[in-house]
Amino acid sequence: MLSKKLEQILSSPKHPKHEFIISGYTYETIYALAASIQNSLESKNGPICICTEDKGIVAATLLASLASGSTIVLPYSLSEQAIREIHQVVGFKTAVTDQPEKLPSGIKPLVPDSCCKVAPSFSLVTDPDSVFLKFYTGGSTGKPKLWSKTPRNLFEEAFSHSQRYNISKNDRILATVPPYHIYGFLFSVLIPFVSSAGVVADICTFPQEIRKALQNHSATILVSVPMHYRILRGGEIPCDSLRIAFSSAGKLNKKDGIYFHKQTGIDIVEIYGSTETGGIASRCQTANDAALEPFDVVDWKVVDERLYVQSVFISPEIPRDSEGFFMTGDRVRLEDNNKFLLLGRVDGIVKVGGKRVDMEEIRNKLKQIQEVTEVVVITMPDARGKENEICALVQGNIDKDRFRERASKIVEPYAIPRRIKIVDEIPVSSTGKYDRKVVERIFLTVTSSL
């Protein structure tokens, strides 16, 4: 069934003159770009890396990969250092790009062109169950990790979301997430391809950029992350055309969701999942839905507070139990209405002063302090290197003494942060996630416990 759908997609665009990139590439042009890439790949071996944020070129490379059997690598960052590191690990020799001058030496640039005047027809070469694309995680909890995906993993999820949320060629998608992140790739490349929707070219990350793009492009779908919904608070959010909003890559602050709903009348759909598992479940907190409802295509179970999942979205290298389920790193509680409530990460339980501390629970409590906008909580070795101590990086209109005093009223004495750093803004990646290494470096500049 999937092979037939892929053959139909590859044979020709369903709406050739329809815009894939709003005020930019048509679907016909995307196929012409794909022909240019495929012709250049015919005599090449090994994986190719996509070194661009141009969603049209990413989409064209995807088509060319399916039609040539080439494997694609999507980096976690487009910095020269990241590309060089990935080159050393993966060993690719060619990179599809629109900025060849920014590639490290030793990598051959492939710059596609759309000289083909008629949208070409492709045939499916790649086996739907073979690895054809590799994603890196963003490295927010450590070194970035490489995950494989098959056409079945990715396209089944794209078809599923398109059907579930009635996405069609009438939709115009604004994504604040780059296409080299799996969430951005899914909603700004794959889902448009299976639904013929249009995509806003720009990757907007500042509040005024997002507001302007929503209005100027008459966006019907907003695809964003918790941090970007946070910065939209306090201003008007254009919503004349908007019909649905998605959030992923972290837990959405309920207050941000409530503000967005008051401005637009739209509940933000939170999608829970990961690069390796794909989408697992969703919820709308502003609809008083704190629990997550698994997607119909996902089988799941809870054993000793651990969530196990099974679906066609899961990366092929992931280990599974005898029944085919993957044990996630999340602790959950089963709810009566066939949903589950997240309790925190298994690796978020640490020992501090001989006590077991749930770091996510501590973070959630500290975020309730009125003057606190955001807080990141980590543990680091104390001066002797023998014990863990809690460190809090705080964004808000508050000083360290007042923060510590208010924290003492809502958490146990052993869970009060020993080291506190107040900042104007907590640094985040392009996908709105906090980078633990960056946070640790900030605390390493503090010479004593505060």
- Do 377 and 290 lie in one domain? The reply is no
Work out the pLDDT band at 141, boundaries 50, 70, 90. Answer: very low
Residue % of the chain over a pLDDT of 90 = 40
Output the pLDDT for position 153. 95
Q: Are residues 280 and 383 in the same domain?
A: no
CATH number at residue 167: 3.40.50.12780
pLDDT given at position 159: 95
> What confidence category does residue 272 fall into, taking pLDDT thresholds of 50, 70 and 90?
very high
* β-sheet bridge partners, residue 109: 95
Summarize pLDDT for 41-59 with one digit per residue, the tens: 755 567 899 999 999 999 9
The confidence score (pLDDT) of residue 386 equals 61
Beta bridge partners, 325, equal none
Do 270 and 379 reside in the same domain of the chain?
A: no
CA 439 to chain centre: 20
pLDDT 10s digits, 3-36: 888 888 888 888 989 999 998 899 999 999 998 8
Reported as a pLDDT band with limits 50, 70 and 90, residue 450 is: very low
Taking 60 as the threshold, does the pLDDT of residue 374 lie above it?
yes
CATH of the domain at 440: 3.30.300.30
pLDDT of residue 430: 64
> Of 295, 317, 333, which one is at a domain's C-terminal end?
295
- Does residue 312 lie in a domain region? no
Specify if 335 maps to a domain.
no
Q: Is the pLDDT of residue 448 over 50?
A: no
Q: Are residues 90 and 203 in the same domain?
A: yes
Q: What is the mean pLDDT of the chain?
A: 86
The better pLDDT of the pair 312, 428 is held by 312
Q: Which of 102-106, 244-248, 250-254, 366-370 has the highest mean pLDDT?
A: 244-248
Q: What is the pLDDT of residue 122?
A: 82
The parent domain of residue 387 ranges over 353-444
Distances 166 to 180, 243, 449 between C-alpha atoms, Å? 24, 11, 53
Least confident of 181-195, 227-241, 357-371: 357-371
Last residue of a domain, one of 295, 310, 328: 295
Report residue 443's pLDDT band, with 50, 70 and 90 as the boundaries.
confident
| Residue 379 confidence (pLDDT) above 90 | no
The answer as to whether 319 is a domain residue is no
pLDDT at 436: 74
214: pLDDT confidence band, cut at 50, 70 and 90?
very high
pLDDT at 241: 94
Is there a domain that residue 323 lies in?
A: no
Q: Are 250 and 435 in contact (CB under 8 A)?
A: no
294 pLDDT higher than 90: yes
Total of domains in the chain: 2
Do both 366 and 234 map to the same domain? no
Judged against a pLDDT cut of 50, whether residue 140 lies above it is answered with no
In a domain, 321, yes or no: no
**Does residue 291 sit in the same domain as residue 361?**
no
What confidence score (pLDDT) does residue 292 get? 93
Which of 279, 295, 311 lies at the terminal end of a domain, its last residue?
Answer: 295
AA letter at 441: R
